[in-house]
Amino acid sequence: MTSYDYLILGHGLAGATLAYELRQRGRTVLVLDETRPDSASNVAAGLMNPVTGQRFVLTWLADELLSAAAVFYRKLEAEYGQQFFFETPILKLFSSVKEQNDIVSRSADEPWGAFVEEISSALPPITGVKTGLGGIFIRRCGYVAVREMLAALAADGLHNGWLRHETFAWNDLVIDQTGVTYKGAIQARQFVCCEGAAAMRNPYFNWLPITANQGEVLDVQCDGLSTEQVLNKGGYVVPLGAGQFRVGATYRWPPLPLGTTPEALTELGQRFSEMSDQPFTVVDQRAGFRPAVRDRKPVLGTHPAWPVLSIFNGFGSKGVMLAPRLATHFANVLEGTEALWPEVNISRYHSLYISVPSEVGVSS
Ligand SMILES: Cc1cc2nc3c(=O)[nH]c(=O)nc-3n(C[C@H](O)[C@H](O)[C@H](O)COP(=O)(O)OP(=O)(O)OC[C@H]3O[C@@H](n4cnc5c(N)ncnc54)[C@H](O)[C@@H]3O)c2cc1C
C-alpha cells in the first residue's frame, strides 16, 4: 500500500495547477488522468481576457487573477525551459456603430483601469485585419499554450511518479472518515475531484449544477495576417506561430455532438473572415467539453457528508485565468489556513444535495 497526502482525479488545468501547488508545499500527491483528447484543456485556445462579454465588462477579480496566472506560467517556463505564456494585446474590433458608441460613452465610468489603453474608431492599417469600425486594445493579457504546458508537466509527473495515465474506476474506491483507498493499493487522506465536465458522472458530486458545454476550435494557416495581436469580434483569432492561428470558439448546449461538426467548421470560418481579409486553409479542427456551472463561478469545497472528498471544478470558459489563483486558494483551504471564498464555495449548492444511492464504495 502506498500512502499519499492527496489523490487527484484529472490532469487538466484544474488538477495540474492544484497538484503543482500542493507539491510545492511538500505534500505527497498522486494524479490519475486518462488523457481524454476532448478534455477542455486539450482544446482551449488559452486566452486570458480580462474584459469580456457583450457588455464588455471587467471580469471577476481580473487584476488578481491575471497577476497570479502570469507568475504561475512564468514559473513553469523557467522550470521546463519552454515558453507557455505569450503576453499579447487583444484587439477587440467593434461589430457595429452602436457597440462603438456604447463602449466609447461608457469608457469614462468603467473600472477597466490599465487593461484598456486605446479606444479608436479609426485604427491604423494592420496587415490582414479588417479594421472597419475601429476597436480597442486590451493590455496585460495574452494566451497560454495549454496543451504544451500540460504535456511538459505530465512528462515530469510520469518520470517522477506523481502522475499515472489511467482511467479512474469509481467501484475501486473505498472511503471512510479518515481517507480513501483505491484499488486496495493506494491510500490518501484527501481525494480531490478535478475531472472537468466528467463530473456530471461523478457519483458523489453529480448533484452539482455542472453541465458540459461543447466547444470547437479551428487551426488555420494564413500567411498574410499580422501576428502582433489576438483578434476578437464575436470569436477570436490567436496567433500560434509559423503562420498558424487558432480560431474559436463555438458554444453548444445539450444535446451535444460527439466530435467535430461541419456547422462549427462553417461558423468559425465565417468568424475568421469577419476579422481578416486574407485567404486561409484549415489544418485542424477540435472539440472539447467545458465544465460550466449555473452561476458561472467555479465550485470548490468538500463533500457535505465526506470531508475526505473534495472538488475543484467548474472553470467554464476561463480556466486559464482562474486556475492558478484558485489553486493557491484551494490549497490553503485544504491545508486549513484559509476559509473558502463565498463566490466559489460549494455550500451555495448544498440545498441540491440529497444522499445519493449511487454513491459507491463507502465503508461505514
Ligand atoms: C473550444 C474551447 C475553447 C476554450 N478556450 C478557452 C480560452 O481561450 N481560455 C480559457 O481560459 N479557457 C478556455 N476554455 C475553457 C478551458 O479549457 C477550461 O476552463 C479548462 O480547461 C477546464 O479545465 P479542467 O481541468 O477543469 O477540465 P478538463 O480540461 O476537461 O480536464 C479534466 C481531466 O480529467 C480527466 N478525466 C476525466 N474523467 C476521468 C476518469 N474517469 N479517469 C481519469 N481521468 C479522467 C480528463 O482526461 C482530463 O484530463 C475553452 C474550452 C473549449 C472547449
| Ligand 1 centroid to residue 328 C-alpha, Å | 19
Contacts of 197 (CB under 8 A, 6+ apart): 40, 210, 211, 212, 213, 289, 290, 291, 292
Q: What is the pLDDT of residue 364?
A: 39
Peptide linkage before 124 cis (omega within 30 of 0): no
Output the CA angle 119-122-125, nearest 5 degrees.
110
Going from the C-alpha of 167 to that of each of 190, 252, 314, the distances in angstroms are 19, 26, 21
Q: What is the pLDDT of residue 309?
A: 98
Nearest atom (ligand 1) to Cα of 322 = 11
Burial class (CB in 10 A: 0-12, 13-18, 19+), 80: middle
| Ligand 1 centroid to residue 42 C-alpha, Å | 7
Q: What is the pLDDT of residue 112?
A: 78
- One digit per residue, pLDDT tens: the chain, 364 residues? 999 999 999 999 999 999 999 999 999 999 999 998 889 999 999 999 998 877 778 899 999 999 999 999 999 999 999 999 999 999 999 999 888 888 877 777 777 777 887 677 788 899 999 998 999 999 889 999 999 999 999 999 999 999 999 999 999 999 998 999 999 999 999 999 999 999 999 999 999 999 999 999 999 999 999 999 999 999 999 999 999 999 999 999 998 988 999 999 999 999 999 999 999 999 999 999 999 999 999 999 999 999 999 999 999 999 999 999 999 999 999 999 999 999 999 999 999 998 654 555 555 3
Distance from C-alpha of 362 to C-alpha of 331, rounded to nearest angstrom: 25
Count CA atoms within 13 Å of residue 343 on its CB side.
9
> What is the DSSP secondary-structure string of 227-243?
-SSEEEESEEEEEEETT
Contacts of 246 (CB under 8 A, 6+ apart): 45, 217, 218, 219, 220, 237, 238, 240
Pocket test for ligand 1, best of 7, 8, 13 (most atoms within 8 A of CB): 13
Q: What is the pLDDT of residue 119?
A: 76
313 close to ligand 1 (CB < 6 Angstrom): yes
Contacts of 18 (CB under 8 A, 6+ apart): 8, 192, 194, 312, 327, 330, 331
Q: What is the pLDDT of residue 38?
A: 87
Q: Strand pairing partners for 9? A: 32, 193
Nearest atom (ligand 1) to Cα of 318 = 11
Distance from C-alpha of 257 to C-alpha of 253, rounded to nearest angstrom: 9
Residue closest via CA to ligand 1's atom 37 equals 195
Looking at every residue in the chain, the average pLDDT score rounds to 93
Instruction: Beginning with the edge strand found earlier in the chain, give each strand of the sheet holding 85-87 in spatial order.
Output: 47-48, 142-144, 85-87
DSSP code for 349: G
| Ligand 1 centroid to residue 264 C-alpha, Å | 19
> What is the DSSP secondary-structure string of 91-114?
EEE-SSHHHHHHHHHHTTT-TTGG
CATH of 2-43+147-210+294-352, one of 3.50.50.60, 3.30.505.50, 1.10.645.10, 3.30.70.360: 3.50.50.60
Q: Could you give the dihedral angle defined by the CA atoms of residues 340, 207, 211 and 46, in that order, rounded to the nearest 10 degrees? A: 30
Nearest atom (ligand 1) to Cα of 150 = 49
| Ligand 1 centroid to residue 32 C-alpha, Å | 15
| Ligand 1 centroid to residue 196 C-alpha, Å | 5
Phi then psi for 41, rounded to 5 degrees? -65, -30
Residue closest via CA to ligand 1's atom 31 equals 12
| Ligand 1 centroid to residue 73 C-alpha, Å | 17
44 close to ligand 1 (CB < 6 Angstrom): yes
Pocket test for ligand 1, best of 41, 153, 186, 284 (most atoms within 8 A of CB): 41
Q: What is the pLDDT of residue 69?
A: 97
Query: Cell 489544418 maps to which residue?
Result: 283
- State the greatest distance between any 2 C-alpha atoms of the chain, in Å, as a whole number: 69
